[in-house]
Amino acid sequence: MYHLLKPLIFLLDPEKAHKATMTLLDTACAVPPVHFIMQRMFCSGDEALSTNVMGLRFANPVGLAAGFDKDGKHISSLASLGFGFIEVGTVTPIAQEGNPKPRLFRLPADKALINRMGFNNEGLDALVRRLKKWRERNTDTKLIIGGNIGKNKLTPNENAEQDYLTCFGALFPWVDYFVVNVSSPNTPGLRELQEKEPLTKLLLLLQEKNRSTGKPKPVLLKIAPDLTDTQLDEIADIVRSTEIAGVIATNTTVSRNNLSTPPGITDSIGAGGLSGSPLRERSTQVIRRLREKLGTHAAIIGVGGVEDASSAREKLDAGANLVQVYSGLVYQGPAMVKNILKGISPSFS
Ligand SMILES: Cc1cc2nc3c(=O)[nH]c(=O)nc-3n(C[C@H](O)[C@H](O)[C@H](O)COP(=O)(O)O)c2cc1C
């Protein structure tokens, strides 16, 4: 079915196509029998796929990556596509427009996307309101919700900690785990927060606030695939010293290597983070290196170019406990999670 719809969807501007498909999905899911049929079609009830990670019980190991539902507007509809977990955000304390459009581009020859969205989001208060409502309506849910937090573009790096702490505090009652995003290439200077000193300070402050709640929640760090091996080893040390729960590897890359799309096209698109198939190998390398350095110490969520069972299995074999998808959903459509789960089920452990 999706292979028939995809050429039509791909006629639209990518950001408009995203909005249109989400409206279509929400409309379909608002009709109870359709919602029921979708759950039957796309959700796996296979108990063997459930897994305990970071003290949380995931119904299956495939999640939706941050950025797809930044404002938490479509959680129920997206859950009907079979995800074990959904990460909302990146949210910033104050609503912001993000970068001028166009800012999202498809590279069909590479099954890839380039985006420079720039943390467009409706702000923390709007997300908290939606999550609260969603929790009230879904008291018996098994879906795990992650909250991915960032800083506003206008907040200088010296004051970034306050933005992260504000998001952490307000989201705390409504999410199951947190992700500290210091790796988006689209907020100027953000990735400098991946350096040892500011990162350690930021994570220690968040952990202090986390412990002060009496019931701390898992905090993960989302990293860029463009870090050197030395920087990755430093990240592993920071994970240990700050005692955070784990790492999400990886965000999008600024590299344009190994693409089938002609350089003339990527040059004309300009700056942004590349995601999808071309990121697959690098993000797997990052996972493998981190797992070697961390031992069994922390959780790793693998993301980057996951689109089918073999790409998901590759991440799990490299040491990831869970995987996430974004670009794969655009290219493979709504049956993707079910297909991945079918493929990894016999050997999942
Ligand atoms: C349009 C778009 C927006 C994104 N927004 C965010 C974001 O707000 N926060 C974040 O941590 N990652 C964001 N990402 C990165 C994804 O979560 C993911 O790490 C990356 O796309 C690699 O996965 P993929 O190859 O499955 O797409 C975004 C990716 C895309 C394509």
pLDDT tens per residue, range 151-161: 999 999 999 99
Tell me the C-alpha distance between 317 and 300, whole Å. 12
CA of 15 to the centre of ligand 1 (A): 14
76 catalytic residue (yes or no): no
Distances in whole angstroms, Cα of residue 298 to Cα of each of 91, 133, 179: 24, 32, 14
CA of 255 to the centre of ligand 1 (A): 15
* Residue 225 confidence class, pLDDT cut points 50, 70, 90: very high
For a ligand 1 pocket test, name from 15, 280, 326, 332 the mutation site with the most ligand atoms within 8 angstroms of its C-beta: 326
Tell me the C-alpha distance between 146 and 335, whole Å. 22
CA of 296 to the centre of ligand 1 (A): 26
Spell out the domain ranges in the chain: 2-347
Q: Is the CB of 63 under 6 A from ligand 1?
A: no
Q: Is the CB of 275 under 6 A from ligand 1?
A: yes
Q: Is the pLDDT of residue 276 over 90?
A: yes
CATH class of 2-347: alpha beta
Residue 58 sits at φ, ψ, to 5 deg, of -100, 130
- Cβ neighbour number for residue 228 with a 10 Å cutoff: 8
What percent of the chain lies above the pLDDT cut of 70? Answer: 99
Q: What is the mean pLDDT of residues 39-56?
A: 90
Q: Is the pLDDT of residue 179 over 70?
A: yes
* Residue 45 confidence class, pLDDT cut points 50, 70, 90: confident
Q: In the structure encoding, which two tokens stand for residue 207, read together?
A: 């952990």
* Residue 4 confidence class, pLDDT cut points 50, 70, 90: confident
Q: Is the pLDDT of residue 41 over 90?
A: no
* Ligand 1 atom at minimal distance to the Cα of residue 115: 1
Q: Ligand 1: which residue has its CA nearest to atom 23?
A: 304
* Ligand 1 atom at minimal distance to the Cα of residue 305: 25
CA of 61 to the centre of ligand 1 (A): 18
pLDDT at residue 349, rounded to an integer:
54
Q: Is the CB of 186 under 6 A from ligand 1?
A: no
pLDDT tens per residue, range 233-269: 999 999 999 999 999 999 999 999 989 999 999 999 9
Q: What is the pTM of this model?
A: 0.97
